[in-house]
A and B are shown apart, each in its own frame.
Chain A
Amino acid sequence: AQKVTQAQTEISVVEKEDVTLDCVYETRDTTYYLFWYKQPPSGELVFLIRRNSFDEQNEISGRYSWNFQKSTSSFNFTITASQVVDSAVYFCALPRNTGKLIFGQGTTLQVKP
């Protein structure tokens, strides 16, 4: 069965600190995608990244970076120099081949000024 685990329920940091959000997944598929979404207080799910299982290179986008390790079934997300605007709930998700997304429980990030 496919499953996504985000063990960190809540994380609180002070602005400018770096923070890593963990994601561990389970799948029997040999090829798959992984997603990260941000959900601010307004409620909308904002797409951050999609990663193909073929590509294990780390990806960096501004202050955001992602570490994909197939050997440990992890797809961790790091925010460098966090800002108050980064406060949100972050979800890791694994799509089934039908398109259905399997979400983790989410990690609530609070960045204090």
Chain B
Amino acid sequence: EAGVAQSPRYKIIEKRQSVAFWCNPISGHATLYWYQQILGQGPKLLIQFQNNGVVDDSQLPKDRFSAERLKGVDSTLKIQPAKLEDSAVYLCASSPDRAYGYTFGSGTRLTVV
């Protein structure tokens, strides 16, 4: 079975620019997660989707971050405008439901300069 696909793999932008990340979960997985991992820390959930509905976005900085999951499949995470502290790895994960079979993608490493 194909894994969770993420792109781009790396991105460097200047502060105040915008950026978007894409995630294609495993086929049939209803639940999709976006995590932010700052260097030296564990991943922290930004947003969780169940199909195309949001389950948890309590830690998403909504003034600059947005995410969508159209048709309950692919998802995009956008940052506009980016700040230096947004430099991190953004990990996408999916699972069949709220059961605990998570699969993580390789992540997108964002550097804001």
A residues contacting B by CB (< 8 A) are 4, 33, 35, 37, 42-45, 47, 50, 91, 93, 95, 97-101, 103-106
Within 8 A of A (CB), among B94-109: 95, 98-100, 102-107, 109
B31 cross-chain contacts in A, Cβ below 8 A: 99
The reply to whether the CB of B14 lies closer than 8 angstroms to some CB of chain A is no
Contact A99/B91 with A35-B100, A91-B42 known, Cβ cut-off 8 Å: no
Contact between chains at A45 and B43 (CB < 8 Å): yes
Contact between chains at B107 and A44 (CB < 8 Å): yes
Q: Which of these, A42, A98, A105, contacts B98 with CB under 8 Å?
A: A98
Within 8 A of A (CB), among B53-111: 55-56, 89, 91, 93, 95, 98-100, 102-107, 109
Contact A103/B89 with A35-B100, A98-B48, A98-B56 known, Cβ cut-off 8 Å: no
The reply to whether the CB of B44 lies closer than 8 angstroms to some CB of chain A is yes
8 A-B residue pairs with Cβ-Cβ distance under 8 Å, sorted by A, are A37-B104, A44-B106, A44-B107, A45-B43, A97-B98, A98-B48, A100-B56, A104-B42
B40 cross-chain contacts in A, Cβ below 8 A: 105-106
B103 cross-chain contacts in A, Cβ below 8 A: 47
A82 vs chain B, min Cβ distance (A):
22
For the complex, what is the distance from the CA of A44 to the CA of B100, rounded to whole Å? 18
B106 cross-chain contacts in A, Cβ below 8 A: 42-44
For the complex, what is the distance from the CA of A2 to the CA of B8, rounded to whole Å? 33
